[in-house]
Amino acid sequence: MTHSIIGPVTFEHSLYGLGLGAACPRISWRLPVGSPDQDAYELEIQGNGGMTTTGRLASPERSLVPWPGKPLRSRERARVRVRVWTIDSEGPSQWSEPAWAEAALLEPGDWVARPVGGAWPHEESGDRRAARVRREFTVDRPVVAARLYATAHGVYEAELNGARVGDDALSPGWTVYGKRLKYQTYDVTSQLVQGPNVIGAWLGDGWYRGRLGFHGGTRDIYGTDQSWLAQLEILHDDGSVTTIATDGSWQASPSPIIMNSLYDGEVHDARLDDPDWSRPSQLEASRQSEPGNDDGCWTAVAVRDRDPATLEPEGSPPVRCTQEVMPVSITSRDDGSYLLDYGQNLVGRLAIAVDGPPGSRVTLRHAEEVLDGELAIGPLREARAADEYILRGGGTERWEPRFTFHGFRYATITGWPGELRAESAIARVYHTDMPRTGEFTCSDPLVQRLHDNVRWSMRGNFLAIPTDCPARDERLGWTGDVQVFAPTALFLYDCAALLDSWLVDVGLEQLPDGTVPWYVPVIPGAPMWTPIRPGAGWGDAAVLTPAALYLETGDEELLRRHYRAARIWVDLVTRLAGPSRLWDTGFQLGDWLDPTAPANNPAAGATDRYLIATAYFAWSARHVSLAARVLGNVADAEEYEKLAEEIADAFRGRYLMEGGRLTSDSQTAYAVAIAFGLLEDGYVTRQAGNRLAELVRDNGYRIGTGFIGTPLICDALTSTGHTETAYRLLMQTECPSWLYPVTQGATTIWERWDSLRPDGTLNPDGMTSFNHVALGAVADWLHRVVAGLVPAAPGYRKILFRPRPGGGLTSASASHETPWGRVGISWQITRGRLHVAMTVPPNCTATADLPGKPLTALLSGTHRVVVPVEGAW
Ligand code: BGC
């Protein structure tokens, strides 16, 4: 009997086999739902020095299994196939579709390219033109394969013979550039022609030298140049290789992009463009610049330096357009401008198709909200978020900015020649193109919208790095935001590679004493953030984000890679706390944005900041211990476990009072103490849970938590027997609550519970975004408790199905693409009966913990159970 294998065969945490950074990339494959368990596999590697097969290996493993062949050398390519034996089959399955693994440039010595850019003087201030660089070359022998390895100081888009290379945007993304700069690998075989060719790139300022940060920000953070570093390697049919690398033979020219900034937008003067700049036949013609316009001139490039040892192959998917959204309404206004509503707060940019006289200027402004018919630009602070296109004239012109992005639902367009039609201004959604892996549905439309909003906020904030918000002059990798949202993120999308990469930067930016920065990459900040100080909840990202990654993927390598950063963070806090084991000194953000905190002092919430700090200290110490245990480091495992216990003791000694009361009688205090298991004794924990439920009830079932308590409160209620209270909190529509923004038409998660206040005014504080992931961390509870899908072992090797219906919901479902295959649960309540369907991937086991039923063990496959339920359904 044969079984088809769900592909594709993949390598490491990458979607693509091209440009792999590992010489021995680990290999994964999926089996379809319903397949019998795998009990053996065989891998076949062809191409790296011949053929290697593992033979039949008795093993259920199929996630990140070791590379059985010889290590790949730079550029080496191997064809990989797998077949499996399942428990009920006599012979092997059919071979999988082959997948190609191709190594990137693994040695610094592989690089001959140098960064090249315009040689004109660096403009200290004012608008700076974006450059284009190019080189002509001849292909005189047949081509077998061609690869372009490219990166930039700044951001780039490559072209070859008049066409884009790839469909990525804002490459190479953002890393701690001084220490690591990612490069992309493109297969350009089909874009080359015999005879003359031209390769080139548009260059923008991006994160490298564009203005970044609040209070005016800083320019040139990583350097003053705008350069491209590229190596085109052409393999010919006779085995020879032609390498076209950026060097002094290239030319540069100012481009028609006369201003570009991630925050401010882009200005493009199409009159300055030569659309054929990257086509060979036009080289001579374009060299003669138009009369009176020197800008068309191509001049020798300036050659800069880059240590090739700092170049790293891109391991995560690129940023690209993932969706196009048409305006849902267009209002023409008295001044001749238009107001467009896209019906969805999104991140990206507008693509226009416009026809008008030369020199007409079309200006596109963006904002997340409108008030009284005007764009609400206050929350953008000093991000201008405006693009401008100056027409060349003579027919329909299509344009979209290249080197910026905006967070917006609304836009105004001024200067549009003629009548604006919906299809002439389409919003294009951009983010890191992570595969979607998690689904959630439920019968309540408001809760469903809340969940959809979480997904949209994730899309808007996972753009090259995980950010706090995408619209204002910030867009930084705030560590606390990532820490609280990572479990939700990892469920919804495969963002393991992106988070892994970001954590590498966390480790690079960590101070030698263990201090984890507030945001990563670090940029110069206001005095509050510079010099960097350690802060609970934020710094703990170094421990808890790798832990979340491990739980999701089961990949010990990820824990290992980030272990040192995690440990030295906890060591630092241990020193700060001293023998008391209480971290009760220094600056803390506390339960940031607790709704009772004054609008201009979000750290001054109802919960003692040091209670939170000590709670996190204990939680992180425990996670370092758990990581050490997985990594086989018994000494550390024991040391940090003991430490975690001592901290928990100290926590109780200092913050726990009679009757399960805490010194801070706040929702967040109880939520952290319960969720982090700090109260130990079951009776005290229940008392604390009762008090938490009471506080929630006394607050009219309105939320009272900020960034710290919000992800934990529903779990704390559920685990202490107050599931119905958690549901009342979830179902609340009055401010503050999760559903209040939904009733106000929110299409993303807001930064504040009242970013838009009940009186219809915007929260006047300068820190008011409409697209922040943190408060959306409740989605993790929706997945685990409402739908009931819980990872019970790393990588979902074991699953717990524990739905806890409530809140009047009549159905819910969750499904998730795990390393072992798709897992899912759905339930409906009809006529007093709960119908549950659960799907367990091959080789996994599950426990069903259904209301009113004893625990049941499940093997792989789909299981249906019906349980009578009491109550109002
Ligand atoms: C960011 C947050 C961040 C916070 C920390 C804000 O400006 O948007 O999400 O965590 O600062 O203070």
Query: Which atom, in ligand 1's list, is nearest to the CA of 707?
Result: 10
Higher pLDDT, residue 264 or 870: 264
Distance 600 CA to ligand 1 centre (A): 13
Distance from residue 308's CA to the centre of ligand 1 (Å) = 35
Task: Report the nearest atom of ligand 1 relative to the CA of 479.
Answer: 10
- Give yes or no for a contact between 153 and 208, defined as CB atoms under 8 angstroms apart: yes
On whether the CB atoms of residues 412 and 215 are closer than 8 A, the answer is no
Question: Cα–Cα distances in Å, from 404 out to 201, 361, 689?
Answer: 16, 18, 47
Token pair, residue 455, equals 């997904």
Q: Whose CA is nearest to atom 8 of ligand 1?
A: 468
* Any ligand 1 atom below 6 A from CB of 468: yes
Ligand 1: residue of 381, 465, 474, 478 to mutate (most ligand atoms within 8 A of CB) is 478
Which protein residue has the closest C-alpha to ligand 1 atom 3? Answer: 478
Determine whether the shortest distance from the Cβ of 474 to ligand 1 is under 6 A.
Answer: yes
pLDDT of residue 2: 45
The tokens of 148 are what? Answer: 């372009």
- Provide φ and ψ at 374, rounded to 5°: -115, 150
Query: Which residues share a beta bridge with 78?
Result: 101
Q: What is the pLDDT at residue 290? A: 41
C-alpha span between 278 and 286 (Å, rounded): 10
Evaluate if residue 288 carries a pLDDT over 60: no
Q: Are 366 and 406 in contact (CB under 8 A)?
A: yes
Confidence of residue 1 (pLDDT cuts 50, 70, 90): very low
How far does the centroid of ligand 1 lie from the alpha carbon of residue 50, in Å? 54
Q: Which long-range contacts (CB under 8 A, 24 or more apart) does 803-807 make?
A: 803/827, 803/834, 803/836, 803/850, 803/851, 804/718, 804/723, 804/851, 805/829, 805/834, 805/851, 805/869, 805/873, 806/723, 806/724, 806/726, 806/727, 807/444, 807/447, 807/724, 807/727, 807/728, 807/730, 807/731
477 Cα to the center of ligand 1, angstroms: 9
For residue 469 and ligand 1, the question of a CB distance below 6 A is answered with yes
478 lines ligand 1 (CB under 6 A): yes
Q: Can you tell me which residue has the tokens 């059985």?
A: 68
676 lines ligand 1 (CB under 6 A): no
Instruction: Give 478 Cα–ligand 1 centroid separation in angstroms.
Output: 6
Q: Is the pLDDT of residue 635 over 50?
A: yes
3-class secondary structure, 697: helix
* Residue 870: predicted pLDDT: 73
Cα–Cα dist 13/494, whole Å = 9
**72: phi then psi, degrees, rounded to nearest 5:** -75, 140
pLDDT category of residue 871 using cuts at 50, 70 and 90: low
- Closest Cα to atom 7 of ligand 1: 767
What digits encode the pLDDT tens for the residues 58-101? Answer: 999 999 999 998 999 999 999 999 999 999 888 999 999 999 99
State the closest ligand 1 atom to the C-alpha of 589, by its place in the atom list counted from 1: 12
Q: Residue with structure tokens 């997948």? A: 99
What is the Å distance from ligand 1's center to 169 Cα? 26
**Which pLDDT belongs to residue 224?**
95
Which ligand 1 atom lies nearest to the CA of residue 538?
10
Q: Ligand 1: which atom is nearest the Cα of residue 769?
A: 8
Distance 602 CA to ligand 1 centre (A): 10
pLDDT computed for residue 48 by the predictor? 67
Distance 230 CA to ligand 1 centre (A): 36
Tell me the pLDDT band of 6, cut-offs 50, 70 and 90. Answer: low
Tokens of 66: 């070791």
Residue 152 contacts by C-beta under 8 Å, 6 or more apart in sequence?
Answer: 115, 171, 172, 201, 203, 206, 208, 226, 227, 228, 229
- The backbone region for 458, taken as left when phi is positive above 0, alpha when psi lies in -120 to 50, beta otherwise, is alpha
Q: How many CA atoms lie within 13 A of 835 on its CB side?
A: 6
Distance 370 CA to ligand 1 centre (A): 23
Task: Please give the pLDDT value at position 845.
Answer: 97
Tens-digit pLDDT profile for residues 264-283:
999 999 999 999 999 996 44
Nearest protein Cα to ligand 1, atom 4: 478
> Does residue 734 contact residue 700 with C-beta atoms inside 8 Å?
yes
**What distance in angstroms lies between residue 538's CA and the mean position of ligand 1's atoms?**
10
Residue nearest (by alpha carbon) to ligand 1 atom 12:
589
Report the alpha-carbon distance of residue 594 to residue 764 in Å, rounded.
16
pLDDT per residue as tens digits for the range 331-350: 999 999 999 999 999 999 99
User: For residue 753, is pLDDT > 60?
Assistant: yes
Of the candidates 68, 67, 64, the one whose C-alpha atom is nearest the C-alpha of residue 555 is 64
Pocket test residue of 214, 382, 468 for ligand 1, highest count of atoms within 8 A of CB: 468
pLDDT at residue 527, rounded to an integer: 72
Residue 245 tokens, joined: 């690398």
Identify the band that residue 873 occupies on the pLDDT scale cut at 50, 70 and 90.
very low
**Active-site amino acid positions:** 474, 751
Query: Is there an atom of ligand 1 within 6 Å of 481 CB?
Result: yes
Pocket flag, ligand 1, residue 775 (CB < 6 Å):
no
Q: Decide if 232 contacts 147 (C-beta within 8 A).
A: yes
Indicate if ligand 1 lies below 6 Å from the C-beta of 589: yes
Q: Alpha helix (H) ranges present in 656-760?
A: 667-675, 682-698, 713-719, 723-731, 739-743
| β pairing state of 241-245 and 265-269 | unpaired
Say how many Å lie between the CA of residue 777 and the centre of ligand 1. 15
Determine contact, residues 434/494, Cβ cutoff 8 Å: yes
Arithmetic mean of pLDDT, 561-580: 98
Q: What is the pLDDT of residue 157?
A: 98
Cα 372 to Cα 55, 278, 329, 369, 445, distances in angstroms: 70, 46, 16, 10, 28
Q: Which atom of ligand 1 is nearest to the CA of 602?
A: 12
Least confident interval from 199-213, 593-607, 661-675, 698-712? 593-607
Instruction: Tell me the CA–centroid distance for residue 567 and ligand 1, in Å.
Output: 24
- Answer yes or no: is the C-beta of 480 below 6 A from any ligand 1 atom: yes
**What is the pLDDT at residue 230?**
98
Cβ–ligand 1 contact at 484 (below 6 Å): no
Kindly give, in sequence order, each residue whose CB lies less than 8 Å from that of residue 540, ignoring residues fewer than 6 positions away.
483, 516, 569, 616, 619, 620
Residue 406 has pLDDT above 80, yes or no: yes
Q: Is 583's C-beta closer than 6 angstroms to any atom of ligand 1?
A: no
Instruction: Please write the tens of the pLDDT for every residue from 528-568.
Output: 788 899 999 999 999 999 999 999 999 999 999 999 999 99
Atom of ligand 1 nearest to the CA of 214: 7
Mean pLDDT of 807-824: 97
pLDDT above 90 coverage of the chain, percent: 92
CA–CA separation, 101 vs 698, rounded Å?
60
Instruction: Look at the block and give the residue holding tokens 């196939």.
Output: 81
Is residue 289 pLDDT above 50, yes or no? no
CA neighbours closer than 13 Å in the CB half-sphere of residue 146: 24
* Percent of the chain that is helix, strand, coil (3-state, to 5): 25, 30, 45
Instruction: Give the nearest ligand 1 atom to 469 CA.
Output: 8
Position in ligand 1 atom list of the atom nearest CA 767: 7
Closest C-alpha to ligand 1, atom 9: 468
| CA distances (Å), origin 331, targets 338, 387, 412, 425 | 5, 19, 9, 13
The pLDDT value recorded for residue 296 is 63
pLDDT tens digits, one per residue of 119-172:
998 887 778 899 999 999 999 999 999 999 999 999 999 999 999 999 999 999
- For residues 215-234, give the mean pLDDT: 96
The finding on whether 767 has its CB within 6 A of some atom of ligand 1 is yes
Would you mind telling me the total number of residues written for the chain in this entry? 873
Arithmetic mean of pLDDT over the chain: 95
Q: Ligand 1 pocket, 473 CB below 6 A?
A: no
CA gyration radius, the chain: 28
Preceding peptide of 313 cis, ω within 30°:
no
- Categorize the per-residue pLDDT at 4 as very low, low, confident or very high, splitting at 50, 70 and 90: low
pLDDT score of 83: 95
C-alpha–C-alpha distance, residues 87 and 219, integer Å: 61
Q: With 60 as the cut, is the pLDDT of residue 286 above it?
A: no
Q: pLDDT per residue over 407-425, tens digit each? A: 999 999 999 999 999 999 9
Please tell me the pTM assigned to this model: 0.97
For ligand 1, atom 1, name the residue with the nearest CA.
468
Paired residues of 84 in beta bridges:
41
Query: Residue 5's pLDDT is what?
Result: 63
The kind and range of the H/E element at 509 are helix 496-509
Q: 102 pairs with which residues across the strands? A: 77
CA–CA separation, 186 vs 166, rounded Å? 7
Smallest CA separation from ligand 1 atom 2, residue: 468
Residue 740 has pLDDT above 90, yes or no: yes
- The residue to mutate among 214, 474, 481, having the most atoms of ligand 1 within 8 angstroms of its beta carbon, is 481
